[in-house]
A and B are shown apart, each in its own frame.
Chain A
Amino acid sequence: MDYILHILIMVGIYSIVAMSLNLLAGYTGLISVAHAAFYGIGAYTTALLALKVGLPFWINIPAGILVSGAVAFLIAWPSLKTYDDYFVITTFAFQIIIFSIMNNWVSFTGGPLGLPGIPQPTIFGITISSHLFFLSFVVAFGILTYMFLTRLVNSSFGRVLKAIREDEIFTMSMGKDVMKYKVSVFVIGAAIASIGGSLYAYYISFIDPTSFTIMESIFMLSIVIIGGAGSLRGSIVGAALLIFIPEILRFIGMPNSIAANMRQIFYGGLLVFFMMFRPQGLLGEFAFGKSGHKEPKEVRKNA
């Protein structure tokens, strides 16, 4: 039972992160590969505050949001001066930098040894110790994130984001400060990703830099693409799919050492499959690899 709950918790955490990345990559067309870094900043901020200062979660999680948002704001300007492929490369660079800081600033982050023993969060004096309790905790944050992002993307703000994804020049000609929108969405995306990171830190109670590598960023991007860019529900479905299916390998009796590698092959294969046969993902409205200026093969309304 705990095993199922564990998987559901992970699906919940990744749903939050993937939805926030979808805001960038799916709705605005900003394919960032630095998302694991912001997820990590959330995790580290929360963990450090809980361990070293002993603050409660309802301060630590917002603190993670603030730190991650602030770092994103600093990174946003140089990154967003670049476009398309160059943007991907710039965010890649920042991902590496932030990972290096986590890995090398030993006195502060614990370096490769990580931060063990993060205390479980408590609500009204009750410690969230059982899997079921933690799952409801995660689901609560997931629902909040979903509601917030749904309102955001369906607002006039969201409309401008979709316009930016398709045609920045036209969006500018409509009097919109495109750069400001992009910075804003980059910061909001990073801030929400940090919530996922904080939850992860509390749940696992141990973090180290290997959870926040570029591979993790690409995994998040895979969830967005496979679930469907420009669909929040798609990100939840994508997270469930990419976390559940590899677990099957465990049941067919594959040893763990092989299963781990098989998982990477599975993700890669799935990504190639989707790019070839269903580039808009399961529930998405926007196909990667096709420029908005060209007529998409299949114009779908939001599922």
Chain B
Amino acid sequence: MLKVDSLSKRFDGVQAVRDASFNIQQGTVTSLIGPNGAGKTTLFNMICGYIKPDGGTVHFKGKDINASPPYAIAAMGIGRTFQNLRVIKMLTVLDNILLSVPDHQMNGILGPIFKVLRKNSELGCREKALELLDFVGLREKADDLAGSLSYGQQKLLSLACCFALEPSVLLLDEPVAGVNQEMIINILTLIRRLKETGIAVFFIEHNLGAVMEVSDRLIVMDEGSIIADGIPSVVREDPAVVEAYIR
């Protein structure tokens, strides 16, 4: 579904990502681990179009998406969350979800004027958004400002926001970092349920316990290169991986 082929990026003499190649399959959970500065987030940013790669290609559902801007990639079906938590704090929880509603009427710059003149066509979307909030357990917070939620709840909201895009691939950057044990279990349960619906989940995480529990596959990066890729129990014993983590 998502095919990354020899992707590379160099920042002022630092080779952030070197020749990364892999495939992400439908209905699987793949995790990407590695020491700080290994290039994991850079890899994510290249897949999502936030950073243009120096070389290599990204194909999604057989289509080359290298030249597509981030918003188009998101609309195509690659949802992502960010390492530093991003939600719109001054909007309500429900409004955050509703940001995902595709803007059919934004045709040309005069689109919004016609939008104003038309009746509100969002009622169906509201229902769906509320169902989604049920799914992540934030239904009763729907009308609260996102900024008033706890960190863990905001994390859930940011997940819900990218689910709302109905993506086929989800890239999660450290989904369980900085949240309590109970919330970690919540989020892992969500990831499993998403997998059941056929979504490919690809996530960066430092919490190895969480990674082992939920992943079908483990990709390990160090200093920009992929040093191991395979079934978690095997990769875990790989001497190169052990070396990277101990050093």
Contacts and interface: CB of A to CB of B under 8 A. Distances in A.
Given A156-B122, A172-B71, A175-B165, A299 B89 contact: yes
A227 B81 CA distance: 36
B86 A169 contact: yes
Interface stretch (A128-136, A157-165, A253-261): A157-165
B99 interface: yes
A40 B95 CA distance: 37
Q: Which of B70, B110, B148 has the most CB of A within 10 A?
A: B70
Given A170-B82, A299-B145, A159 B109 contact: no
B55 interface: no
A175 B102 contact: yes
A301 interface: yes
B103 interface: yes
Nearest to B109: A184
Contacts of A184: 106, 109-112
Interface stretch (B16-24, B113-121, B223-231): B113-121
**Interface bin, chain B:** 35 or more
Contacts, number: 116
Contact of B74 (A163, A173, A293, A299): A173
Interface residues of A, number: 38
A156 B98 contact: yes
A250 interface: no
Given A151-B116, A157-B115, A172-B71, A187 B109 contact: yes
A47 B106 CA distance: 33
Interface string B41-61: 000000010100000000000
Contacts of B89: 166, 292, 295-296, 299
Nearest to B76: A175
Given A175-B100, A175-B102, A285 B74 contact: no
A295 B88 contact: no
Contacts of B106: 157, 177, 180-181, 184
B20 to A, nearest CB: 21
Q: Which 6 A-B pairs have the closest CB atoms?
A: A175-B75, A170-B86, A175-B74, A184-B109, A157-B112, A172-B70
Interface of B: 48, 50, 69-72, 74-75, 79-82, 84, 86-91, 95, 98-103, 106, 109-113, 115-116, 120, 122, 145, 147-148, 161-162, 164-165
26 contacts: A152-B112, A155-B120, A157-B112, A159-B91, A159-B95, A166-B89, A169-B50, A170-B88, A171-B88, A172-B71, A173-B82, A173-B86, A174-B164, A174-B165, A175-B71, A175-B74, A177-B69, A177-B71, A178-B71, A184-B106, A188-B113, A295-B89, A296-B147, A299-B145, A299-B148, A301-B145
